[in-house]
């Protein structure tokens, strides 16, 4: 009879990717480490093995800094068969952890920044802010270098509301002064 076991570290990562489809690679790691089932080195090695085996796929969207993990059909099938090998306490913990951090993950997904080489030279930075399913702000700038674009993208991701507020104040400042007698 063929051995149907997969190391529990792999099953835990498959479980997380199944429970939180499209989870950022960093957040998947946070959840796995929070379960106290593996250390960082186990996590990195195990995730690489799952990607190489075609059980999890990585996607990068418009934001080059963010990699998202998605369970493949093959990964979903393996998890369905072997999920019971994950200790019940670990499954319960992960389910609660992912529920508790859902809003935090969703909020982070509302703010994106990407950059690419610009035809004119330098790098084109595109920052966006979403509210629900609609985009409330999209800003595209050409910066002289990739290093500056990378810094600006990081700043946008760290504190988009403050950057947005400063931009609005700058855009509306002259109009506000005209309205005052």
* Rounded Cα–Cα distance for residues 139 and 61 (Å): 17
* Rounded Cα–Cα distance for residues 1 and 90 (Å): 28
Q: Is 172 a member of any domain? A: yes
For residue 163, the model assigns a pLDDT of: 87
Q: In this structure, are 50 and 82 located in the same domain?
A: yes
By CB neighbour count within 10 A (0-12 exposed, 13-18 middle, 19+ buried), where does 33 fall?
Answer: middle
- Distance set, CA 69 to CA 13, 101, 141, 167 (Å): 10, 16, 29, 33
Tell me the sheet residues that pair with 133.
Answer: none
Q: In this structure, are 81 and 127 located in the same domain?
A: no
Q: Is 3 a member of any domain? A: no
Q: Is 96 a member of any domain? A: yes
For residue 178, the model assigns a pLDDT of: 57
Q: In this structure, are 96 and 115 located in the same domain?
A: no
Q: Is 120 a member of any domain? A: yes
Tokens of residue 126, six digits = 């595109």
Q: In this structure, are 88 and 115 located in the same domain?
A: no
For residue 65, the model assigns a pLDDT of: 61
In 3D, which of 46, 21, 22, 20 has the Cα closest to residue 33?
46
Q: In this structure, are 18 and 80 located in the same domain?
A: yes
Write down which residue in 45, 72, 107 finishes a domain. Answer: 107
The CATH number of the domain holding residue 37 is: 1.10.10.10
Q: In this structure, are 68 and 93 located in the same domain?
A: yes
**Other CB atoms closer than 10 Å to residue 21's CB: what's the count?**
10
- Low-confidence stretches of the chain (pLDDT < 50) are 1-4
Q: Is 34 a member of any domain? A: yes
Number of domains in the chain: 2
For residue 5, the model assigns a pLDDT of: 52
Q: Is 137 a member of any domain? A: yes
Q: Is 2 a member of any domain? A: no
**What is the residue range of 89's domain?**
8-107
């Amino acid at each position: 009879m063929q051995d149907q076991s997969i190391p529990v570290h792999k099953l835990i990562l498959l479980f997380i990717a199944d429970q939180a489809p499209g989870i950022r690679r960093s957040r998947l790691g946070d959840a796995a480490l929070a379960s106290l089932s593996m250390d960082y080195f186990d996590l990195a090695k195990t995730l690489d093995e799952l990607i190489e085996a075609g059980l999890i796929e990585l996607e990068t969207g418009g934001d080059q800094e963010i990699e998202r993990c998605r369970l493949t059909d093959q990964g979903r099938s393996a998890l369905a068969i072997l999920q019971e090998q994950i200790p019940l306490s670990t499954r319960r913990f992960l389910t609660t952890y992912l529920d508790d951090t859902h809003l935090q993950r969703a909020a982070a997904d509302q703010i994106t920044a990407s950059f690419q080489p610009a035809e004119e030279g330098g790098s084109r930075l595109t920052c966006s802010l979403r509210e629900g399913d609609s985009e409330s702000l999209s800003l595209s700038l050409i910066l002289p270098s990739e290093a500056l674009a990378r810094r600006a993208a990081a700043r946008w991701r760290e504190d988009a509301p403050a950057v947005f507020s400063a931009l609005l104040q700058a855009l509306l400042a002259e109009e506000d002064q005209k309205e005052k007698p």
